[in-house]
Structure 1
Amino acid sequence: MPADDVPPCLVDLPTPTSIDWPALLTRLTRWGGLLVLRQHTFMSDAAAFGAFEYELECDLIELLQAQFGDVSVLAEETFHRTGRPVGTPGRLQLVLDPVDGSRSYADGSTTYAITLAALLDGRPLFGLVHHPAEQVTYAAARGLGAYRGIRRLESRPTGSRRVAIRQRDMTGSMALAAEKLIRHGYVIEGMACTSLKLCWIVDGRIAGLVKPVTERNGILSTWGLAAGQLITEETGYPVSSLDGSPWEWAPGEIVIGDAGFRSALGLH
């Protein structure tokens, strides 16, 4: 991938090491192409898909640790196997999901993505979301904006009446939020792929998203969230809890969306 195709926010990002962005983005694109080509086969072979997903994750971890050294990496498939990140804990942590939306992918949907972020002192430093089906990569870096390819993204009213909430999450306060949105004419759709749905907010395809964020073994499940959250934040969308207070990277509901969506929830 030519250096001119790297989003400017990544080129300008000061990091603890020099990152070969063209090589990293080329690797994401190559893996994404394989996901597209092999989706039909994997739909009928769950074991093969699971093995492929883990292979993709291990490849990314190896690539990242070659650039960053023995840094902590919180990767979904590895974490589900071991209950902990790999590498040495420190101020910097990489978080990734090789196929965010794996159930959606296995059902034949195009709503899935490869997502990667770096956290510095627990907050996103940069984030990438690659959508293989459309061959597009979203990127953001803290304080340097968000991009779709090399086009800078700007906050704007979406005009969409679609919002994302997983069906199994619609209990308690989440159910009340869904009821408010429905009363204001919004249509609830499934989450499928958190990172991609967050990118679709800035693209204007959906108005917003409400999602509970959980933890296990004291570790927040941020692999499908961190990159997309930074992309929306750098585009100018508020990030809050359901009560309107700032979301503080802790367990609880996260709310991201445009002004109309937030108003329907009673948030400002």
Structure 2
Amino acid sequence: MIALSNRDTLADAAVEAARGAGELALAFFRPGAATSAGISHKPGGSPVTEADFAVDRFLKQRLESLLPEAGWLSEETEDTPARLSKSLVFVVDPIDGTRGFVAGRKAWSIAVALVEDGRPLFGIVHAPALGETYVAVKGAGARLNDRIIEVSKLRAIDASSRVAAPVFLAKQLHALGLHFDLQPKISSLALRIAAVASGALDAGFASENAHDWDIAAADLILQEAGGRLTGLDGRAIVYNRQDTRHGLLTAAPAQIHAEVNAVARNINRLAKQ
């Protein structure tokens, strides 16, 4: 058990837990080939593997031992109302980008955040197959493999800007006059947002129905690197609500976020007409 006041030590221990979970997941991962893990499907058709469940169990045991008073919210654990009465909650995606993991693509991650009163205190996005670990502690900056990262210095989105978005959404953005260089799909939403934090992308979009576990860790990483992740209202996202789903999201450096978000709002407005 580690006291919450010792935030850096707590975050370091959580990073080690995420790396341990990564080793567990890698045992099922086959680069360029189908996973060795057993696969089932959730209602709606999205895949889930035995690796997802194994990582979930591993992280729950390790993280709860670090901070027993914290609640638990994970994609692969049945949700209960108990977390809603907790000011501290671990928010976890055991494998973010399961479709990519299943197909042997390397851009999947393990996402871990500790949330206090609706906002992250620390966030970890660990991509074992890529050898990348993004970490942020509130007020202490963001790092990729222990190197300080910052968002792009871009002052406006233009045709050369590197942007990640679902193809259907990219087409709508182009139709509204926002032109950019659409980047290849990143299976993990957490990694997509983290890539904006590192400056590898200039902006990113996520369609509706991302959940807390997809974005909480990356949200803080982006914030600490000088960017913003918000819904269409432009406000900081609040986590650990009863409904964990979110609407259309925009991720961008702080200096261009308002521009990016304004175009996204136009898409939403047109869709409702």
TM-score bracket for this pair, using the shorter chain length: 0.7 to 0.9
- Cα 1:46–1:35 shift into 2, 3 Å: same
Residue in 2 that maps onto 1:43: 35
Deviations along 1:172-215, one digit per CA (max 9) or x if unpaired, are: xx86335346x523315435111111111122222211124538
Residues in 1 aligned to 2:258 and 2:82: alpha-carbon distance in whole angstroms: 37
The answer to whether the 8 A contact 1:163-1:189 is kept is no
What is the SS of the residue equivalent to 1:43?
coil
1:204 aligns with 2:199: yes
From 247, 266, 273, the counterpart of 1:252: 247
Query: How many residue pairs are counted as aligned between the two chains?
Result: 241
Shift of 1:147: 1.2
RMSD: 3.3
Instruction: Give ranges in structure 2 of 5+ residues lacking alignment.
Output: 41-47, 239-244, 264-273
Residues in 2 aligned to 1:223 and 1:200: alpha-carbon distance in whole angstroms: 17
What is the SS of the residue equivalent to 2:213?
coil
Residues in 2 aligned to 1:84 and 1:27: alpha-carbon distance in whole angstroms: 24
Residue in 2 that maps onto 1:186: 181
Residue in 2 that maps onto 1:223: 213
The answer to whether the 8 A contact 1:247-1:254 is kept is no
Residues in 2 aligned to 1:109 and 1:184: alpha-carbon distance in whole angstroms: 28
Matched residue type, 2:76? E
1:150 aligns with 2:146: yes
- Percent of residue pairs bearing the same amino acid type: 24
The answer to whether the 8 A contact 1:72-1:85 is kept is no
The answer to whether the 8 A contact 1:17-1:67 is kept is no
Shift of 1:57: 0.5
Residue in 2 that maps onto 1:9: none
What is the SS of the residue equivalent to 1:133?
coil
User: TM-score, normalization: structure 2?
Assistant: 0.74
From 1, 15, 38, the counterpart of 1:25: 15
Residues in 1 aligned to 2:53 and 2:4: alpha-carbon distance in whole angstroms: 27
Matched residue type, 2:195? W
Residue in 2 that maps onto 1:4: none
The answer to whether the 8 A contact 1:118-1:126 is kept is yes
Residues in 2 aligned to 1:178 and 1:189: alpha-carbon distance in whole angstroms: 16
Residue in 1 that maps onto 2:74: 75
Shift of 1:70: 4.5
Residues in 2 aligned to 1:22 and 1:143: alpha-carbon distance in whole angstroms: 15
Matched residue type, 2:151? S
The answer to whether the 8 A contact 2:37-2:51 is kept is no
Residues in 1 aligned to 2:12 and 2:235: alpha-carbon distance in whole angstroms: 35
Shift of 1:50: 1.5
Deviations along 1:78-119, one digit per CA (max 9) or x if unpaired, are: 1xxx34367683100110011100111111111100110011
Shift of 1:261: 7.5
User: TM-score, normalization: structure 1?
Assistant: 0.75
What is the SS of the residue equivalent to 1:38?
coil
Shift of 1:142: 1.4
Residue in 2 that maps onto 1:64: 63
Residues in 1 aligned to 2:3 and 2:112: alpha-carbon distance in whole angstroms: 17
Residue in 1 that maps onto 2:268: none
What is the SS of the residue equivalent to 1:130?
strand
What is the SS of the residue equivalent to 1:99?
strand
